[in-house]
């Protein structure tokens, strides 16, 4: 089992999760985070830390596509280990539908 970041992270990018991760498996894009599924140790401490409820276990239905999505971007984006401010749009975008249209493939700063 692994945990993955789903589309509700897009345009929010809360980073509370990265502070509690014991293995530093979060990677930062311009407007969301992902988890490297091969580095995740399935501890689950990140899931309750996400204010946007964007982190889910891969055992949930229809999550397989998110495992591959997280794998793809975790291999090209920089690792993030320190908490940063969320995006200015975070509160208003939390829970919005159709967020994949806003997804950016650009990497974040990491750190």
pLDDT tens across 16-30, in order?
Answer: 999 999 999 999 999
Which domains does the chain possess? Answer: 3-86 (3.30.70.20)
Q: Distance between CA 2 and CA 37 in Å, rounded?
A: 6
Chain centroid to CA 3:
9
**SS3 readout for the chain:** CCEEECHHHCCCCCCHHHHHCCCCCEEEECCCEEECCCCCCCCCCCHHHCCCCCEEECCCCCCHHHHHHHHHHHCCCCECCCCCCCCCCHHHHCCCCCHHHHCCCCECCCC
Low-confidence ranges of the chain (pLDDT < 50): none
Q: Distance between CA 89 and CA 10 in Å, rounded?
A: 10
pTM listed for this prediction = 0.96
Length of the chain: 111
- Give the pLDDT of residue 28: 98
- Give the pLDDT of residue 1: 85
């Amino acid at each position: 089992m692994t945990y993955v970041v789903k589309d509700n992270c897009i345009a929010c990018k809360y980073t509370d999760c990265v502070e509690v991760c014991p293995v530093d498996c979060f990677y930062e894009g311009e407007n969301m985070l992902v988890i490297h599924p091969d580095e995740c140790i399935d501890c689950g401490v990140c899931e309750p830390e996400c204010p946007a409820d964007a982190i889910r276990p891969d055992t949930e239905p229809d999550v397989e596509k998110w495992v591959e999505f997280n794998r793809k971007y975790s291999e090209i984006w920089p690792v993030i280990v320190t908490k940063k401010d969320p995006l200015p749009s975070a509160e208003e975008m939390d829970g919005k539908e159709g967020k994949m249209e806003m997804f950016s493939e650009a990497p974040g700063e990491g750190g």
